[in-house]
Amino acid sequence: MSLLEVKGLKISYGGINAVKGIDLSVQQGEMVALIGANGAGKTTTLKAICGILGPAAGRVRYRGLDVTGAPSYALVEQGLALVPEGRQVFGRLTAQENLEMGAYARADASGIKTDLQRMYDLFPRLYERRRQTAGTLSGGEQQMLAIGRALMSAPKLLLLDEPSMGLAPLMVQRIFETIRKIASQGVTVLLVEQNAKLALEVSQRGYVMESGLITLSASSSALLNDPQVRQAYLGD
């Protein structure tokens, strides 16, 4: 069964059609990559899925329910979480306070405490920085924090928007190792990432988005070997 199903999604900014009627799906337990150039509509698509933007047309179904236009907070309560482009941590709060904010919709105090420790096990650097304000952390540490904050909501579906953006290669490698680990623990992931090679290497399936349209859809291995994809996105 599809955990997420998007049908005929259209999104407009004023007179600009940013997303022009796309279909995509994510199965329970999958990691799916959405790749494409800047301005293709990838981030806009994620924002519509998680309720930040209202679509002009089309439907979003999550866990079998029509959630088109549902507010973000309601979707978080249903287990859908976004790690936004540019991290967007709460700069004046400490690292630990940011993580605790991720669990704002939960009422299970013991579970929150357990998950907080799990975040520190997943990101030991955050434990070292737990009393430091998030605005003073490095870019890589802020990315860890943004992912940890989203995981504190106990998501069934995690949307990741450009997790490698602005990070040094060693930190990118570390972040993607963590993403693999998160997926192996049963969290379903929809990954938007400009580093197409990296995204396809960690995912099972992929979609290619160009100018607001899905132009290719296949297994990640097939896309990695597709001449058109290799030329356009893999530097061949």
pLDDT in tens, 133-182: 999 999 999 999 999 999 999 999 999 999 999 999 999 999 999 999 99
End position of a domain, from candidates 154, 173, 194: 154
Number of domains in the chain: 2
Q: Coil, strand, or helix at residue 38?
A: coil
Q: Are residues 124 and 23 in the same domain?
A: no
Q: Are residues 72 and 161 in the same domain?
A: yes
The DSSP bridge pattern shows strands 57-62 and 31-35 to be unpaired
CATH code: domain of residue 33: 3.40.50.300
Please determine, for residue 1, whether its predicted confidence score (pLDDT) is greater than 90: no
Q: What is the DSSP letter of 105?
A: T
Q: Are residues 68 and 11 in the same domain?
A: yes
Distances (CA, A) of 221 to 26, 34, 225: 17, 14, 6
Range of the domain at 121: 90-154
Residue 113: CB atoms within 10 Å:
11
User: Considering the domain boundaries, does residue 84 fall inside one?
Assistant: no
User: Considering the domain boundaries, does residue 85 fall inside one?
Assistant: no
User: Considering the domain boundaries, does residue 69 fall inside one?
Assistant: yes
pLDDT in tens, 31-79: 999 999 999 999 999 999 999 999 999 999 999 999 999 999 999 999 9
pLDDT in tens, 200-235: 999 999 999 999 999 999 999 999 999 999 999 987
Single pTM value for the model: 0.95
Residue 169 in tokens: 């290669």
User: Considering the domain boundaries, does residue 189 fall inside one?
Assistant: yes
φ, ψ at 27 (rounded to 5°): -85, 155
Q: Which contiguous run of DSSP H or E holds residue 53?
A: none
Long-range contacts of 227-231 (CB under 8 A, 24+ apart): 229/196
Q: Are residues 133 and 164 in the same domain?
A: no
